[in-house]
Chain A
Amino acid sequence: MITLKLLKRDIKLGIVERLILYLVVLFTFFMVKDCSRAIADIQVRFSMQSSCTIMDYYVYCMSGMGFYQFDPTQGFLIPYLWFISQLGISYIIAYYAEKDFAENGVNVMVAGRNRSAWWFSKVIWCIMSVLIYFVATFIACSCFAMFYGAKPSLGVTDEFLKIVYGYNINYLPYKDLMLIVFVVPIAVTAGICLVQMLMSFIISPVTSFALTCAVYILSAYYTAWFLPGSYTMWVRSSYFDVRGLNPLSGLLIAAFMVIAVCFVGNSYFEKKDII
């Protein structure tokens, strides 16, 4: 019951009153612009018959980058829109919980009389923030896509994806596509954000945010099961590349991060001096 009361407070102060931060999702305009350019190019070169849907745009925008292989003639270029997308939510969740603890921790803890409830409320708040961020990203992406002439449909255009990714999407059931485009990236991002939130208490919000940036950069450079950022790029999924990452291992890593953060954070706050 007290967790719900604290959560209501966190939703009000940490989401509703900070909605302006979610305007960061407007960066999707640049992704959509890129996508629109790619579609125009494909239509000219391949005489593509069907027009694309908003889901095509979203799938294209959130693809990230394929495996990077070191090439001395070419520098490493981070997929900056994917990077902004991931850092957007990391920034949104970076300061609220730690600041709330530092400024109002004494009053709120004493009023709520429960350290665990306080922590679990922050965990749920963080997961909700990630979900809302992805929903907002999808909505923004869809609106811009429709502006560029996309059909308002949640289906994917096989022809478009086949040309762009060289893969016949018919072989991939829609639910599997949804798994790698929505479920795995959202779950892994939630896990990363939770770890970042916990670290913001143990180290500091700034250092924790910087470490998250470093993890994403490393994830773009190396593809490894233990670098969670790779799971947020669906083109690195084993569905699209034989060397790719199994989406289920992404879900397992996400579940591990969520459970570990719940337990470690709870134990940390049970023993923490509030001074």
Chain B
Amino acid sequence: MEGYITIDGAQTPINGCKNLLEVIRASGIELPTFCYHSELSVYGACRMCIVDIDGRGIQASCSTPPEDGMVVRTHTEQVMKIRRMALELLLANHHGNCQTCGKNTQCKLQELAQKLGVKNVRFDEVNDVLPIDDLNQSLVRDPNKCILCGDCVRMCKEVQGVGVLDFVGRGSDVRVSPAFGKNLNEVECVYCGQCASVCPTGALIIKSQTEKVWKAINDPSKTVIVQVAPAVRAAIAQSYDIAGGEHAMAKTVTALRRIGFDKVYDTSFTADLTTVEEATEFLDRVAKGEKLPQFTSCCPAWVKYAEQFYPDYLANLSSCKSPQQMFGSLAKQYFADHEGVKREDLYVVSIMPCTAKKFEATRPEFVVDGDPDINAVLSTQELISMIDEAGIRVSNLAPESMDLPFGFKTGAGIIFGTSGGVAEAVLRLASAGTSEDGKPAPTEFRDVRGLEGLKEASVTLGDRTIKLAVLSGLSNAREVLARLQSGEADYDIIEVMACRGGCIGGGGQPLPNDMAAREERKATIYDCDAILPLHNAADNPYIKECYSTLLQKPNSSIAHKLLHTGYRSRRRIEGEDLDLSETKTGEKTPVSVCIGTNCYLRGSYDTLRKLIDKAREAGLAGAIDFKATFCFEKCKASPNVQVGDTIYGGITPDKIDEFFENTIKPAAQGASDAETLEV
């Protein structure tokens, strides 16, 4: 749309803005909003951006398409009155323990109440307190501070394609909640933290681990080391207004030493290691023509997402641990072997742009004998608060360099922090030495760069063309996987990062964490890459040393042990089987009948009932351990019955007689005989 709008008397060009709010903001008037985010759908609920439009009266500007010739006033008496009333109503309903709130000084409600001059709340306080949801590692949800702007709901649904949050209830009972009032740890939350990034108040905040890190630092028996993820430096540069990511990183190294960390390392080092392992794995899969496309596995939110929604594709995920976890297992090994620090005395802290990394560190695969490879994960926000607590003025610090060997990285490791970075790092490595005419191998693959949620590229490596997709924002993963499933899409390698723009926009990054902030951080990351001497992970001398002293070669068995992992389907609600047997003694044949929806609809209740009856008739009730279970994931063959380790499909009630005689009875009799013998 082109043309002009008169805003408070001033002619303002529309300039293609998609709504009136953006035109007004472009004109220099910062209309307040709670529920408007340019990357989310228009919601129109907070009523803060209302304006008076000639001929139309009071309208929300966010949902009004701009039209040439509109005459708009943004602060008439009536408009201001409505805005103030809306704020006053929100404040009246808000648990305002501001000083101790995790969002203190960063809260939009606080800010707008101050800006719009709401000095008095004329309504009674609300006394009922809703329970706080803090049972997961990553996020704390406090419904008492929620203003129901719906930003988290739309972020989770629209951008992340997860949708664990929605509105429930009516009237003043409305609240945002996961299904059935559950907590986030009981639903499909991937802990990406994007909800907390858009939450204007303290209703969704990052769960802090600073206290336990302080405790470890102050414990003389612990050696406390820290790794810093690549994207963190871009946000630190932004927050402290320091030019250059590596410069900001170097000052942060000093700060971390002042705080008391014994060693400071760079996650970019293990990002380089990941590149080597993952590229080797990829080239191996290409050679064998199996498990393609290969998905990246650095992003823990994406991994959990795949485990929940696409378990059929888990074999396609790279088996590489994420750089955070590679660091953890490598560090624990290295310090035990070379520094004489026992595993339990080494305390490994990560500083991540991410909230899902907190969850990742607690996955049982990454815990050895009760001791996790990573002991604590701090988000960038928590790093800043530790710096603040210690009173350190980062800008004034002299830069220091990281400790070796894990503090040395190439540019390939740094660009892991942004969408396209992992793919580009792999391409740099895979294309090295492939150029035919003696030209140096390319070190830049610009097609995969940028904040767009879905990027595609083709790269010729030798005689083969590699097709790539680079995704950020998990709803894009959903879309691409749907196309893969239908056969419409065909890729060799797919990089997925849960957060839009990659880790630079992670849920642990400081606020504002909007697209403008991400754009700036992206530029910082590529600047870091540009100034580093090396750009190919394989050229990292300490990586080479790692292989020569410990790992032997990429994808070796020791590399597999330390650097690779496996995944599990989380498609089903985790719950125990229902035990239906009457007696508990003796060796029994396990028989499980699925009573999930599909099997139930095809008569599995009757199947189960008849089987129990048959067992009683045959005098074998005591020899069979009947269980009702939920889903063997073989719904097409439902109803399914598992006898011993074998699953039998199509056991409809009319086939019971035959099935019992031929399958269950012999198994049960065998067990029964064994029992008798034992007696």
The judgment on whether A and B are partners is: no
Query: What is B's interface to A at a CB cutoff of 8 Å?
Result: none
Query: What is A's interface to B at a CB cutoff of 8 Å?
Result: none
